[in-house]
Structure formats: structure tokens, C-alpha cells
Amino acid sequence: MTAAERDPGLQPERTRLAWRRTTLSCTVVALLAGKQALHGGATPAGVVALSLSVLAWLGFLRVANRRVQGMGTSRPQPMEVRAALLAAACTVALAVFAAAMLF
């Protein structure tokens, strides 16, 4: 079987669902970060960390949305390196900002 004859089966659908689950997880993390930042009152450091968390969340949503839309074609293209790096950076940034809000 050649690459042109490849039948991806349900793999694009599974990948699309995985991106949606990951987006939902990032949304929950961002909401919990907001709750934590505002729990003891809105301090300047908490507001900054919350703002940066929201920016990281929005960046991840953009990457995920573009990837989910790309998986809707009959022959999805591989993910771009730049998009993968941005998704990883947003995920790490959310973790760092969450840790910063705890201390």
C-alpha cells in the first residue's frame, strides 16, 4: 500500500476529539487559575498572573481550533512545527502561572 492509497480510518476523528479534550482541560485550568487569583482578593500579582494565564489559554485555543479545523479535511496535513511549539509553550506557561499564583 502506498502513501497515496493510505486509508486513515478514524484516526483524524480520534485526533480531533483529543484536541477537544485537551482544550477542555486547558479551559478548566484557566478557570481554576482565575478562582485562585481572586480567592483572597484581587492583588496586583494575582491579576497579572491571571491575565497571563488568560493570554496563554487564548493562544492554546487558537492553535487547537486551527488544528481541529484542519483535521476536518479528507487528507489532513501534519501539524506545523511552529503550531506544536506554540501549543507546548502555552501549556508550560499555564503551569508556570498556576504555580506562581500558589506562592
Identify whether 15 is part of a domain.
Answer: yes
CB atoms within 10 A of CB 83: 15
CA dist 32 and 13 (Å) reads 29
Domain span including residue 61: 10-102
**pLDDT one-digit tens code per residue, 30-74:** 888 788 777 767 778 778 878 888 899 999 999 999 888 887 777
Identify whether 66 is part of a domain.
Answer: yes
Domain count of the chain? 1
Identify whether 88 is part of a domain.
Answer: yes
The pLDDT of residue 14 is 85
